[in-house]
Amino acid sequence: MASSISYWTASTVIRLEIRGGLGHRARAVTAQLPFLGLAAIGACEATAVYFLDADLDDDALEFLCARLLRDPVTETAAWMRDPRDNAGSPAAVEVARKRGVTDTETRVLENALVRLGLPPARAARATRYEFAGAPGDEDLHRIARNLLCNATTERYAVGWLQPEFEEGAGHSSRCETIPVRDLTDVRLAALSRDRGLALSLDEMQVIRQAFRDFGRDPTDVELETLAQTWSEHCQHKTFKARIRFRHEDPQGRTIGTETIDGIFDTCIRAVNCEVAKTWLVSVFEDDAGVIRFTDDLDLAFKVETHNHPSALDPFGGAHTGVGGVVRDVLGVSARPIAATDVLCFGPPDLPDAEVPAGTLHPRRIRAGVVRGIGDYGNKLGLPTLSGAIVYDRGYVSNPLVYCGCIGIAPHGAHPTAAEVGDLVVALGGRTGLDGLHGATFSSADLAEDTRETQGSAVQIGDPILEKGLMELLGQARDEQLYTAVTDCGAGGFSSAIGEMGEELGVEVHLDRIRVKYPDLAPWELWLSEAQERMVVAVPPARLARLQALADHWEVELSVLGKFTGDRELHIRHEGRTVGRLPMDFVHHGWPRPELNAFHREPSTCDPAGTPWTDGDQALKTLLTHPSVASKEAVIRTFDHEVRGGTLVRPLTGPCQDGPADGVVFEPLEAAGSGRAVAVAQGINPMLGLHDPYAMGGSAVDEAIRNLVCAGADPDHIALLDNFCWGNPTLPDRLGALVRAAQGCRDAALALQAPFISGKDSLYNEYAGEPIPGTLLISGIGIVPDVDRCMTAHAKHSGSLLFVLGDTRAELGGSLLHCLYGLSGGVSPVTEAAFGNRYRALHGLIRSGSVLSAHDASEGGLALAAVEMALAGRVGMDLDLTAVHADPWHALFSESNGRILIEVDPEAVGVVTDACRDLPLLRLGRLGGERVLMRHEGTVHVDAAVEALAACWRGAEM
Amino acid sequence: MTRPRVLILHSPGTNRDAETLRALELAGAEVEIAHVRDVRAGSVSLVGCRAVVLPGGFGYGDALGAGVLQALDLTTWLQDAVGTFVGRGGRVLGICNGFQTLVKSGLLDDGCEPAKPGNRAVTLTHNERGHFECRWVHMAPAADCAADWLRGLSMPIFCPVAHGEGRFLTRGSDTLNHLAAQGRIALRYVQADGGAAAGSYPHNPNGSAGDVAGICSPDGLVVGFMPHPEDHLLSRHSPVPVPVDAMGFRLFEAFVEAL
């Protein structure tokens, strides 16, 4: 997509090339060429190109390069004023961000010119890639499209790129009236589709009737406001819908039919009614869930998804995903202190020919997403501590990007009551055409042409601006300068201000919004999802102080309106009313959907025969699967040490390369409290393909088990649910969703862990194919003694290995079945009795009686034991005869509620005593350099620890 | 005993200021975090400070290169204040992004005036592996290091690096020898047992020439390094058990003692 617009008219545009500093990027591109079959093209060289629309002489340019742009050790600079054509230019591709996409670098350069006393100038930039092997244009276009340029946010040219400078790009400042009162149903549906409203016919009919009652037609501002507010993204209509659910047995006979009065109320909220913990502070009321941490401090936790944007622009999607969830935590007046990430990708080795049209290769999606998360989190100074990566073909076109953020706040410091007369104040970034229709875009399926039609929904963030917001809001909270706060996420101001004003009513003046460029239409100002913006309610008397703080932190502030008390949403622009709706209609006017769902239970018969005969081989197959194998290459690109409180890291063991169950950190703010925070996840979409109910339960149990293994108190654990699913209007998708929700409800009740926050991302489908229904359970727990954290790696030769928990024949939906393409079998259950095991283990950890603890989940006891061994570089000799009569179930069954514990021989009495009423089995002894697993005298596994470690590390990125 | 006053400079994007403050306070300093704009405006003065510390982070988002824009602040807005401070024998410590800033400003360069940073002979550039990397490393003071307080450390310090642009390179092949001869190499990446990293990854995590993790000015008063001793203040912070003298805290103790 080469640019056809020429801004090359002014003779003053200077093209400045800085060579030598981008060798790291060039090497990365060169390394990818073989995947395109273009290894012969040879090495790539990358050059930074700046365009300056300015009148600068050679001395000024030399000064600019010396002071700012050229590193004297690694770089050289050259400039030209009058480039004419490509003649004589080596084979090259140049890539630039599109106009309207955030680029802090050029803004910073423009400011720096002035600082250096040079004439002000507009700046633009590009990256130039030259290839030694003189490829033809066709190959250059292929390289550009597949490696260098993401068409959602970037453009490229073969040869020299013509610069485009940021300037007015708006549509029209007019507000239109949209006639709906007389539209037929067919035309109503067409209106929703053509404007990208993502409203159903039912909803459009309600709107038509409402405006008939009002006696007028809606403005575009009003219609767009309703579409945003009523979107799946904002209202979670599916989770509130009344569902007629039919449940079938494996043979298709109806087991039962029921009407589910909202998944949210019956499965999520229901748990919290029965599990009333005294330490819950705010649950499902705010942007994030809040629990007590110490007497004085609360913890907030929120997990969001940014799936559709990450499919289109992996870097930008993940980047703004982190930025968005951080603002959720700011929205409960907490200081963000840690980040989490859970990612689902297609297989990295997918043949290019099998990548669907309009989809990026999984390798490219992974690289961009990982870079985006690291760039935002690292720059914000948040340790990105905890996460997981799952690979499956089902995620090729719909990758999942779960971004989480944990925050800390003084208890009771979050104000939630704006008053009549308080001002509506916007803080942070300017508004442009960024991210229009993000909320509605994420409430529909992806398609081949989504990139072209919805590309503007994707943005790139500015973490430094967000950092300023963080500092400002923390200080404003402590000085009690605001009475309410919310983040600007999907739906932009329309959602943020609309929600804040729901109880009181609000009057907003769109022309007071600070803009990146002129000529934005009122509805665009109102809906833009430009990043790094927050809205606060400010009593007029405190505005001056807030302004002073905002100036200090270099955050822009604008007063957009005030809270009125008339319970109306009143939107004005340039002296005219462009929208006026009753708040009640805006927030509650949408018709509650009625949906149909059915689910057929899977066969519980184990598949006939076992295709694996060799335990070693099966184990190696598991170890090298990318979902199991080491994620070190990804983890190390995230800062997991910043803030100086990390205690248990995502990589453990003497070589700091073994897998951890949960992570633990001690917030700076709580230093001296003696307490720490544990974070972990449970996720198993492969099990969900077999039995979504079992997936729901197992995810809850796994998250809790991981936390307990890290040292958390099992009675002080809170959960977050994040469902990523396909199109919920299709009964089979919805039926599986219902079962998963019931599974996590039953497990949370059994283990007495409340839900504090959750989110769903639906319509994750491409060309009629849904993703595997994926439930992520994130858990946050309190480690009561900061010096009693626990890690999973084996510690010593000579110590003993026990398994706490019984093993059943539960291979249905297991990773082993998945890898061997088998279906059928009983899936793992979750029982209340597991809670006693976790309490017993926690007591042992508190008393220092356990050397290590590791949860057994995917891959069963065999994989869990091997992970402990390879992480600790210690061998083990285990006899699994008493675990289960069938050796393969003993090795690989995925029964829940099991934890491997390493015990010093001298502590055996303490451990057996504490577990006297619990299923506790001694498996063997640690030592040597090999892992041996026996069953009834037969050796099923015999492998060197180093070989297992190499195997596990080998499938790295 | 009065606690020496130390000022931590905060720029937009600074993010390791709070833990650096904690490290210096635990080591016995009286510490204040000051925004660069307040120092520029004169509302915070360097007079009376024994040291200025530039902490880790991503000043201005690393736009135009790590440390480049903070270096511009130092050489324009703060030129007089910092020049006077250093001229009177004040100490300056730059950690990670702070080190990058000191290098890019020319304050750590050889015979180069701060006003001409374009001539410097040393730099910190993108890691050899091409991306940000977070991992624990060992660093040991170089023999004959002009920063005498570093020489008092009894064993290598164990602490994490977390950076994308920490590869130390010099212009011209003699520069490294020249720096060493002048006592300007402050810290080198080493193996766990103190043996030379000899350029091998991951002991030398970023491909730095001569395993250089930090350098100092000829008089030893200005010091910068990439790793983060402020993330290892207590033994429970370490991912593996190490002697207490390997804690990053020891470095801050030595620094504050020298003030």
pLDDT tens string A221-230: 999 999 999 9
Q: What is the pLDDT of residue A447?
A: 64
Q: Which residues pair with A93 in a beta bridge?
A: A129, A158
Q: What is the pLDDT of residue A1?
A: 30
Task: Look at residue A606 and tell me whether its pLDDT is greater than 50.
Answer: yes
Query: What is the distance between the alpha carbons of residues A301 and A322, in angstroms, rounded to a whole number?
Result: 13
Contact B169 A786 (CB under 8 A): no
pLDDT tens string B136-169: 999 999 989 999 999 989 999 999 999 999 999 9
pLDDT tens string A111-143: 999 889 998 888 999 999 999 888 888 999 999
pLDDT tens string A376-390: 999 999 999 989 999
DSSP secondary structure code for residue A828 in this structure: P
Query: What is the distance between the alpha carbons of residues A64 and A123, in angstroms, rounded to a whole number?
Result: 13
Q: Does A114 touch chain B (CB under 8 A)?
A: no
Which DSSP string do the residues of B81-114 spell out, in sequence order? Answer: HHHHHHHTT-EEEEETHHHHHHHHHTTTSSS--T
Task: Look at residue A173 and tell me whether its pLDDT is greater than 70.
Answer: no
The CA distances from residue A32 to A25, A37, A38, A349, A355, in Å, are: 11, 9, 9, 13, 16
Task: Look at residue A583 and tell me whether its pLDDT is greater than 80.
Answer: yes
- HSE-CB for A260 with a 13 A CA cutoff: 30
Q: What is the pLDDT of residue A188?
A: 95
The alpha-carbon gap from A702 to the nearest alpha carbon of chain B, in Å, equals: 24
Query: What is the distance between the alpha carbons of residues A343 and A530, in angstroms, rounded to a whole number?
Result: 24
The alpha-carbon gap from B10 to the nearest alpha carbon of chain A, in Å, equals: 11
A599 is a catalytic site residue: no
Instruction: Return the residue of B nearest to A116 by Cα.
Output: B76
Query: What is the distance between the alpha carbons of residues B92 and B168, in angstroms, rounded to a whole number?
Result: 19
pLDDT tens string B68-105: 999 999 999 999 999 999 999 999 999 999 999 999 99
Enumerate residues 6+ apart whose C-beta is below 8 A from A197. A191, A204, A223, A224, A227, A440
Q: Which residue among the candidates A306, A319, A716, A889 is catalytic per the annotation? A: A306
A845 and A911 in contact (C-beta within 8 Å)? no
A233 is a catalytic site residue: yes
Residue among A72, A467, A668 minimizing CB distance to B19: A668
pLDDT tens string A198-211: 899 999 999 999 99
The alpha-carbon gap from A638 to the nearest alpha carbon of chain B, in Å, equals: 7
A365 and A346 in contact (C-beta within 8 Å)? yes
Query: What is the distance between the alpha carbons of residues A623 and A633, in angstroms, rounded to a whole number?
Result: 16
> Which chain A residues contact residue B62 at CB under 8 A?
379
Q: Are strands A92-97 and A154-158 parallel, antiparallel or unpaired?
A: antiparallel
Chain B, window 115-174: residues with a beta carbon less than 8 angstroms from a chain A beta carbon: 116-123, 125-136, 160, 162, 169-171
Burial call B155-183: b when 16+ CB within 10 Å, e when fewer: ebbbbbbbbbbbbbbbeeeebbeebbebb
Q: Of A105, A114, A378, A553, which to mutate for an interface test with B (greatest number of B Cβ within 10 Å)?
A: A378
Give phi and psi for B188, each to the nearest 5.
Answer: -125, 150
Residue among B68, B123, B169 minimizing CB distance to A68: B68
Contact A105 B127 (CB under 8 A): no
Q: What is the pLDDT of residue A529?
A: 87
**pLDDT tier for residue B16 given thresholds of 50, 70 and 90:** very high
Tokens of residue A549, six digits:
């703080």
Task: Look at residue A661 and tell me whether its pLDDT is greater than 70.
Answer: yes
Q: What is the pLDDT of residue A459?
A: 81
The chain-wide mean pLDDT, for chain A, equals 92
pLDDT tens string A884-920: 999 999 999 999 999 999 999 999 999 999 999 999 9
**pLDDT tier for residue A8 given thresholds of 50, 70 and 90:** very low
Task: Look at residue A432 and tell me whether its pLDDT is greater than 90.
Answer: no
Q: What is the pLDDT of residue B1?
A: 66
Q: What is the pLDDT of residue A608?
A: 81
The pLDDT > 90 percentage for chain A reads 77
**Closest listed residue to residue A739, CA positions, set A731, A727, A749:** A731
Instruction: Return the residue of B nearest to A117 by Cα.
Output: B76
**pLDDT tier for residue A6 given thresholds of 50, 70 and 90:** very low
Contact A552 B35 (CB under 8 A): yes
Q: What is the pLDDT of residue A91?
A: 86
**pLDDT tier for residue A9 given thresholds of 50, 70 and 90:** very low
B96 and B139 in contact (C-beta within 8 Å)? no
When pLDDT is averaged across residues A810-827 and rounded to a whole number, the result is: 92
Enumerate residues 6+ apart whose C-beta is below 8 A from B114. B74, B75, B79, B83, B105, B106, B107
Query: What is the distance between the alpha carbons of residues A737 and A728, in angstroms, rounded to a whole number?
Result: 8
Q: Which residue among the candidates B96, B145, B159, B216 is catalytic per the annotation? A: B96
When pLDDT is averaged across residues A921-943 and rounded to a whole number, the result is: 96
Tokens of residue A155, six digits:
């453009």
Chain A, window 353-412: residues with a beta carbon less than 8 angstroms from a chain B beta carbon: 371, 374, 378-381
Tokens of residue A405, six digits:
């953020």
